[in-house]
Amino acid sequence: MLHGLDQHTNSIYAPVQEGLVKVEEKLRSLAKAETSHVKPLLQYVTEAGGKRVRPAITLLAAQFHPHDPARPVLMASAVELLHLATLIHDDTVDNSPLRRGRSTVSNTWNSHVAVLFGDYVFATSATFVCDTQNIRVIRRFSETIMELASGQLMEYFTAFDPVQARNLYNDRIYRKTASLFCTASESGALLGEAPEEEVQALKDYGYNLGMAFQVGDDLLDFQGDPTDLGKPVGSDLMNGVLTLPTIMLLERYPNDDLVPSLFQDPTDQAKLQKVLEVINNSAILADCEQVVQDYCDKARQSLQILPDCAPKQSLLDLTDYVTARRR
Amino acid sequence: MLHGLDQHTNSIYAPVQEGLVKVEEKLRSLAKAETSHVKPLLQYVTEAGGKRVRPAITLLAAQFHPHDPARPVLMASAVELLHLATLIHDDTVDNSPLRRGRSTVSNTWNSHVAVLFGDYVFATSATFVCDTQNIRVIRRFSETIMELASGQLMEYFTAFDPVQARNLYNDRIYRKTASLFCTASESGALLGEAPEEEVQALKDYGYNLGMAFQVGDDLLDFQGDPTDLGKPVGSDLMNGVLTLPTIMLLERYPNDDLVPSLFQDPTDQAKLQKVLEVINNSAILADCEQVVQDYCDKARQSLQILPDCAPKQSLLDLTDYVTARRR
């Protein structure tokens, strides 16, 4: 079993177990090759484990046609490294001391080191993608980094604004999350020599899975996340970040002052508890669960044109995993 | 005349004037295409002007053979954008309020925005490089971002260490400065369809010019830089950064306690003045000038295999410009 995985993900990952072991080796070999000050930093972030969902998607998406297996492994490693780089910078700008119970780079070292080391990891991920020799994949990867950064900037600039339409929320979560899921599945398909129609199908799968993943993640902020040690319920709201449950509340009661009033005074625990209470006592969370289910359904439908096989079953099972991880 | 250039650089840039105007248009078109929160940030950094030395090198290096002129323009724009991205992050981690008399991004907005926007600019530069369609150039570009980041990390981790050999200094300034000069000239040559021998020659030119540029820049910290508004003499030393003059001092007086004592107490102005005085009263600055000259000589020698023509003369003249800008 790969380090850090539960029984559930481990069975989903079975068809690409070998590839995932190679990804792990590739990530760890980075620190081994370094002699400089970067070595302990690389060890710290690559040996932390993680669910490796994104590289698994890349590898699974590559399994439908005969191909050079080294290229999806390179891409899967790049996708995971890019994810790690964004976490390093996100935790830095958010001043987060912990991520999943472990001290962040900016907390263990400092923000000076975390900014520069994040740049280093971004660039390292790009060299892996270059080694796939596929220009379309390389360009898509660069665009994804732009989307990730602009999604985070969008979240920052719209914070504490209680008037945000749902389409802006959708655009924001596409950029900050679904874009990389999309790139993970699309690039896997391309490097797995899939025909264009299947590339589009697997890209759609990644998009919908990523959207489901982020809406689900945003829901956890209202329900409490048993796996996310130390993150208090309602922390998005306290940081002024509007997510789907609150947007639905604002859609239903456009003239209500509850959320605008909280955003005027975000440290007021009584106001926060009131918003959480109203949302929890409404049908909103169930409606959000339905949005997650709808995205998962679309993800599954995207795969219809693909032949039934173990990798396809794993991609289908991943949509259940996204839904189930909150229970 | 291009905005921000003096008469001297303007005559050097004459053979690539048209290309530089296109680079300027390309940089400014980024903000025009954006409708989001990124637009004012892009305007702020692309309309600030600058000497555009790096894109000029790329364009000049491409002039020796018939080629598609769009590709060096893309690369030159990418090289300048990458330079701008590194400035955004460097100013953020150094908490610099000003750069060349103008408020930095982190000072005008804040470090949160500057980190994420820097990522966005890094990624944008990479998309430009992708559009050259040349995998070797794309990979070299990613490696350069790694070198830039690791050079800055090296500077951070070795700060206030008074025992640093000259080869470590050379490695550090290669990474933080000469690497991008190298990539500017090498990629220009490659996209200018130069044969491998000339690519290597132009790469060597970029390396030596970049090393001369950084040693010269480090010298300015001891002599005072008339163009760099507000940066006090001796600021590298106050920040614990060993550069060539101080390394030469330590080489000559390995048992002297002056520098170690300053690094114990870097805010002590009397100790700082003493180190500056000893260096200024020795032959050290003249010897450093000689190092700059030696690098410039090597840069000029690298060009010997190239035919005499206006672009070659401009590259030769640039070495004089590097030497002259401190007078």
Spell out the alpha helix ranges (H) of A13-134. Answer: 17-33, 38-46, 53-61, 70-93, 105-108, 111-130
State mean pLDDT over A315-320.
95
Q: Which of A94, A153, A154, A180 to mutate to test the interface with B (most CBs of B within 10 A)?
A: A153
Q: Answer yes or no: do A139 and B131 touch at CB < 8 A.
A: yes
CB contacts of A143 in chain B (<8 Å) are: 123, 127
- Residue labelled with tokens 């945003």: A218
* pLDDT tens digits for range A241-285: 999 999 999 999 988 899 999 999 988 999 999 999 999 999 999
Q: Which residue has the higher pLDDT, B212 or A36?
A: B212
State whether the Cα torsion B230-B234-B236-B239 is positive or negative.
negative
CB contacts of B146 in chain A (<8 Å) are: 120, 123-124, 127
CB contacts of B120 in chain A (<8 Å) are: 145-146, 149-150, 153
- Using DSSP, state whether A278 is helix, strand or coil: helix
Q: Does B89 touch chain A (CB under 8 A)?
A: yes
State mean pLDDT over B138-166.
92
Within its chain, how far is the Cα of B310 from the centroid?
24
Please report which confidence band the pLDDT of residue B231 belongs to, taking 50, 70 and 90 as the band edges: low
pLDDT at A2 exceeding the cut of 80: no
CATH architecture for the domain at B8-321 = Orthogonal Bundle (1.10)
Q: Answer yes or no: do A139 and B127 touch at CB < 8 A.
A: yes
Q: How far is A184 from chain B (nearest CA, A)?
A: 17
Q: Answer yes or no: do A37 and B157 touch at CB < 8 A.
A: yes
CB contacts of A115 in chain B (<8 Å) are: 89, 92-93, 115, 118
Q: Does B292 touch chain A (CB under 8 A)?
A: no
Q: Does B247 touch chain A (CB under 8 A)?
A: no
Q: How far is B200 from chain A (nearest CA, A)?
A: 21
CATH for A7-324? 1.10.600.10
Residue by residue, DSSP assigns B163-206 as ---HHHHHHHHIIIIIHHHHHHHHHHHHHTT--HHHHHHHHHHH
Q: Answer yes or no: do A116 and B37 touch at CB < 8 A.
A: no
- d(Cα A279, Cα A219) in Å, to the nearest integer? 11
Mean pLDDT over each residue of chain B, to the nearest integer: 92
B239 with B159: CB under 8 angstroms?
Answer: yes
Highest mean pLDDT among A47-51, A218-222, B13-17: B13-17
A245 Cβ neighbours under 8 A, 6+ residues apart? A218, A219, A222, A279, A284, A285, A288
State mean pLDDT over A147-154.
94
pLDDT at A311 exceeding the cut of 50: yes
- List b or e across A65-102, with b for residues whose CB sees 16 or more CB atoms inside 10 angstroms: eebebebbbbbbbbbbbbbbbbbbbbbbbeebeebbee
Q: Answer yes or no: do A142 and B130 touch at CB < 8 A.
A: yes
Return residues 99-118 of B near A (CB < 8 Å). Answer: 111-113, 115-118
Residue B244 is predicted with a pLDDT of: 96
Tokens for A229, please give them.
């040690």
Please report which confidence band the pLDDT of residue B2 belongs to, taking 50, 70 and 90 as the band edges: very low
Highest mean pLDDT among A162-176, A218-232, B192-206: B192-206
* pLDDT tens digits for range A192-222: 999 999 999 999 999 999 999 999 999 988 9
Please report which confidence band the pLDDT of residue A301 belongs to, taking 50, 70 and 90 as the band edges: very high
Tokens for B233, please give them.
């003499």
- d(Cα A188, Cα A209) in Å, to the nearest integer? 15
CB contacts of B127 in chain A (<8 Å) are: 139, 142-143, 146
Crossing angle for the helix pair A166-173 and A196-223, to the nearest 10 degrees: 110
Q: Answer yes or no: do B157 and A117 touch at CB < 8 A.
A: no
* pLDDT tens digits for range B261-287: 999 998 899 999 999 999 999 999 999
State mean pLDDT over A167-185.
96
* pLDDT tens digits for range B156-181: 999 999 887 899 999 999 999 999 99
Spell out the alpha helix ranges (H) of B192-283. Answer: 196-223, 235-238, 244-252, 258-264, 269-280
Tokens for B147, please give them.
């070198």
Neighbouring CB atoms inside 10 A of B221's CB total 23
| Conformation bin of residue A49: beta by default, left when phi > 0, alpha when psi is -120 to 50 | left
Residue A321 is predicted with a pLDDT of: 85
Q: Answer yes or no: do A127 and B119 touch at CB < 8 A.
A: no
pLDDT at A3 exceeding the cut of 70: no
CB contacts of A150 in chain B (<8 Å) are: 36-38, 120
Residue B279 is predicted with a pLDDT of: 94
Compare CB distances from B138 to A138, A149, A157 and report the shortest one's residue: A138
CB contacts of A130 in chain B (<8 Å) are: 135, 138-139, 142
Residue B107 is predicted with a pLDDT of: 96
Please report which confidence band the pLDDT of residue A1 belongs to, taking 50, 70 and 90 as the band edges: very low
Mean pLDDT over each residue of chain A, to the nearest integer: 92
CB contacts of A93 in chain B (<8 Å) are: 111-112, 115-116
Residue B53 is predicted with a pLDDT of: 94
* pLDDT tens digits for range B59-90: 999 999 999 999 999 999 999 999 999 999 99
* pLDDT tens digits for range B34-67: 877 899 999 999 988 888 999 999 999 999 999 9
Q: Answer yes or no: do A146 and B127 touch at CB < 8 A.
A: yes
Q: What percent of chain B has pLDDT over 70?
A: 95
State mean pLDDT over B302-322.
95
Please report which confidence band the pLDDT of residue A4 belongs to, taking 50, 70 and 90 as the band edges: very low
Residue A232 is predicted with a pLDDT of: 76
B177 Cβ neighbours under 8 A, 6+ residues apart? B151, B210, B211, B213, B214, B217
Exposure on the CB side of residue B286, measured as CA atoms within 13 A = 3
Return residues 1-60 of A near B (CB < 8 Å). Answer: 36-38
Domain residue limits, chain B: 8-321
Return residues 152-171 of B near A (CB < 8 Å). Answer: 152-154, 156-158
Please report which confidence band the pLDDT of residue B254 belongs to, taking 50, 70 and 90 as the band edges: confident
Least confident of A133-142, B118-127, B227-236: B227-236
Q: Answer yes or no: do A113 and B156 touch at CB < 8 A.
A: yes
ipTM over 0.85: yes
Residue B230 is predicted with a pLDDT of: 57
Instruction: Residue B267: name the closest of B232, B230, B227 by CA.
Output: B232
Q: Answer yes or no: do B113 and A154 touch at CB < 8 A.
A: no
Find the residue in A nearest to B85 (Cα).
A119
Q: How far is B154 from chain A (nearest CA, A)?
A: 7
- d(Cα B185, Cα A86) in Å, to the nearest integer? 31
Q: Answer yes or no: do B116 and A149 touch at CB < 8 A.
A: yes
* pLDDT tens digits for range A92-146: 999 999 988 899 999 999 999 999 999 999 999 999 999 999 999 999 999 999 9
Find the residue in A nearest to B152 (Cα).
A116
